[in-house]
Amino acid sequence: MGYGAVYSRAALGVAAPSVQVEVRLSGGLPTFQVTGAAEGALRDLRDRVHSALSAVGHPFPQGRITVNLAPADLPKRGARFDLPVALALLQAQGVGVAPAPNCEFLGELSLDGALRPVAGALPALEAAAEAGRVLVLPEGNGAEAGLFPAPQGRLAPSLGAVLAWMKGTAPLPRPVPSEAPPPKIFPTLSRVQGQVLAKRALALAAVGGHNLLMVGPPGSGKTLIAESLPGLLPPLSDETAREVAMIQSLSRRGGLRHRPHRPFRAPHHSISQAALIGGTAEALPGEVSLAHGGVLFLDELPEFSRAALEALREPLEAGEVVVARARHRARYPARFQLLAAMNPCPAAVDCQSGAPCQCPPGAAARYRARLSGALLDRIDLFVSLAPVPLTLLGRAPALAQGNVGVPSARMVSRAQERAQARQGCLNAQLPPERTVRACAPTEPALALLTSVGTTLGLSARGFHRTLRLARSIADLAGEPAVEVPAVQEALAFRPRFSDAAPC
């Protein structure tokens, strides 16, 4: 009889709780049993470990083998526990050197004993460093492990290399700091012809982190404008870049090579609620979490399922998503900017320019009714786009009208710096209890917002969102206080459909 125990890390959202891998050898008929909420690829663990041990010259033990992954109520998935199970098995046989108590191991074994990269290595490395332990990772996760300082990590190409390191006969290298990412060229607003009002709305969205809805016929430039938003935003902060990298680490198997840029996610309108918000049996991150720190662009907004759109309301407010399953809960950050686009009616005809509406009676109203008032109340900017004149399309982009006076990325960055110095966050992230004090409206401006807001029937959320947008307008202009013109412009951008499709 023999016993071995090795520490590892599970994956539960962006957290990586500690797992103790225990192996007990006993007499009896040859059996191999895994206990402790084992799922998925863990069922094939025996064959991979058997072949890998044989490849490095260690026979697979006979008799009854019991593998326990503790704590038992913590779900475990994937092949990330192959390496710790193999080491615990050798320890139970009395082969090699027992792992030090301050070491943890993570990795999938191939049949020849090589280590394959695993998903979620970066959260595990961060958790191990906080616990003061050394985490041994597959060499394929080396670039990911070098994104941020990780002095406690070690990289191993194979099971044999890990055994040699434990015996003190060969070292394991530390993660090498990754190279600076190649510059990413984002589209600019200069390629969009005309649409001055939409460009102004996009700049304000960039300044304060506000949500934006564009309504216009096909070909009016909605997608081009949305794709230009990342180019107006400053680079990710270190903290946000770390969160983005940890989320992306859960979705890739060692494929994260450089410090992440601002995400831009544009899922198709046929996406399911679980894929958008996060879910499946493994509670993986959805598009709203993959867009954390960046932009989530939903084109053809009314074509998304009603359930998926309504599920956006909580992350838009809280900035995070909790994916609950029967036996576990996973928490993911989801602070993103929502950009949405839609046609004025199902026939996608610009009725404002005089074209006759081709929709059946009531079709336009039903089309707009797919968007609930609660969802629209969480959108700060609404802009209606008209078709671009054909005479303007014949000009070179550099000479196109509508680019003069559009705020640049530097102007947006300075406006964001004013907000950060004043309140420590972007204007759209202000909590309600701090909004009035941080936005500093003058008495006439506050009186105007109260009067017009009462007439328009603004909710408390809409009132605060309009005031935050007015603060972004003032920041872009360099004004210390929110004056009446800023409030007037913010009210003009409030979401509504009265001028979107009169048909």
Mean pLDDT of 395-415: 68
pLDDT confidence of residue 163: 92
User: Mind spelling out the 3-state secondary structure of 127-193?
Assistant: HHHHCCCEEEEEHHHHHHHCCCCCCCEEEECEHHHHHHHHHCCCCCCCCCCCCCCCCCCCCCHHHCC
Out of 79-93, 262-276, 402-416, 419-433, pick the least confident: 402-416
* Same domain (yes/no): 313, 256: yes
For residue 386, give the DSSP letter. Answer: P
DSSP string, 96-134: S-PPPTTEEE--EEPTTSBEEP-TTHHHHHHHHHHTT-E
Q: Is residue 466 part of a domain?
A: no
Verify that 247 and 389 share a domain, yes or no.
yes
Between 329 and 42, residue with greater pLDDT: 329
- pLDDT of 500 reads 41
Please tell me whether residues 106 and 210 are part of one structural domain.
Answer: no
The one-letter amino acid code at 38 reads A
> Are 379 and 319 found together in one domain?
yes
| DSSP 8-state assignment for residue 235 | P
Residue 447 lies in a domain: no
Question: Would the pLDDT of 497 be above 60?
Answer: no
Within a domain: residue 174?
no
Asked, for residue 295, whether it belongs to a domain, the answer is: yes
Q: How confident is the model at residue 253 (pLDDT cuts 50, 70, 90)?
A: low
* 208 and 311 share one domain: yes
> What average pLDDT does range 359-365 have in this prediction?
78
Give me the mean pLDDT over the 383-406 stretch: 66
pLDDT for position 399: 44
Tokens 């390629």 label which residue?
191
Lowest model confidence (mean pLDDT) among 125-134, 140-149, 335-344, 392-401: 392-401
- In a shared domain, residues 298 and 211: yes
Domain boundary among 408, 432, 464: 408
pLDDT at 382 over 60: yes
In the numeric block, the tokens 């890390």 are attached to: 9
Q: How confident is the model at residue 304 (pLDDT cuts 50, 70, 90)?
A: very high
Residue with tokens 């360099």: 478
Percent of the chain clearing pLDDT 90 (strictly above): 50
Contact 192, 224 (CB under 8 A): yes
Pair type for strands 18-26 and 64-70:
antiparallel
Quote the mean pLDDT of the chain.
86
Question: What is the pLDDT at residue 13?
Answer: 85
Nearest residue to 228 (alpha-carbon basis) of 387, 339, 393: 339
CATH of the domain at 74: 3.30.230.10
Residue 499 has what pLDDT? 42
CA distance 500 to 301: 14
**Farthest CA pair distance, the chain:** 87
Q: Is the pLDDT of residue 281 over 90?
A: no
- If asked whether residues 160 and 193 sit together in one domain, one would say no
Q: Is the pLDDT at 294 greater than 80, yes or no?
A: yes
Name which residue leads in pLDDT, 415 or 355: 415
> Are both 327 and 210 inside the same structural domain?
yes
Residues 269 and 338 in one domain: yes
Residue 330 or residue 64, greater confidence: 64
The pTM score is 0.87
Residue 478 in domain: no
Which pLDDT does position 501 carry in this prediction? Answer: 40
Choosing from 357, 383, 408, the residue where a domain stops is 408
Give pLDDT tens digits for 189-247: 877 777 889 999 999 999 999 999 999 888 888 999 999 999 899 888 888 998 999 99
Instruction: Judge whether 19 lies within some domain.
Output: yes
Q: 260: domain range? A: 189-408
204 and 332 part of one domain: yes
Q: How far apart are CA 483 and CA 416, in angstroms?
A: 19
Number of compact structural domains in the chain: 2
- Measured CA to CA, the distance from residue 278 to residue 295 in angstroms comes to 16
Strands 329-333 and 320-324: antiparallel
b/e sequence 112-126, b meaning 16+ C-beta within 10 Å: ebbbbbbbbbbbbbb
- Asked if residue 502 is part of any domain, the answer here is no
Q: Where are the beta strands (DSSP E) in 229-375?
A: 264-265, 278-279, 284-285, 295-298, 320-324, 329-333, 337-342
List pLDDT tens digits, range 8-37.
Answer: 999 888 889 999 999 999 988 888 888 876
Q: Given pLDDT bands bounded at 50, 70 and 90, which one contains residue 352?
A: low
Provide the 10 A C-beta neighbour count for residue 15: 17
Reply yes or no on whether the pLDDT at 81 is more than 80.
Answer: yes
Percent of the chain surpassing pLDDT 70: 88
Q: Look up residue 101 and give its amino acid.
A: P
Position 414 pLDDT exceeds 70: yes
**In this predicted structure, what is the pLDDT of residue 355?**
64
Domain check: are 247 and 110 in the same one?
A: no
CATH label of the domain that carries residue 344? 3.40.50.300
Residue 113 pLDDT: 93
The answer to whether residues 69 and 101 belong to one domain is yes
In a domain, 403, yes or no: yes
pLDDT mean over 278-297: 87
Domain closes at, from 348, 380, 408: 408
Does 54 score more than 80 pLDDT? yes
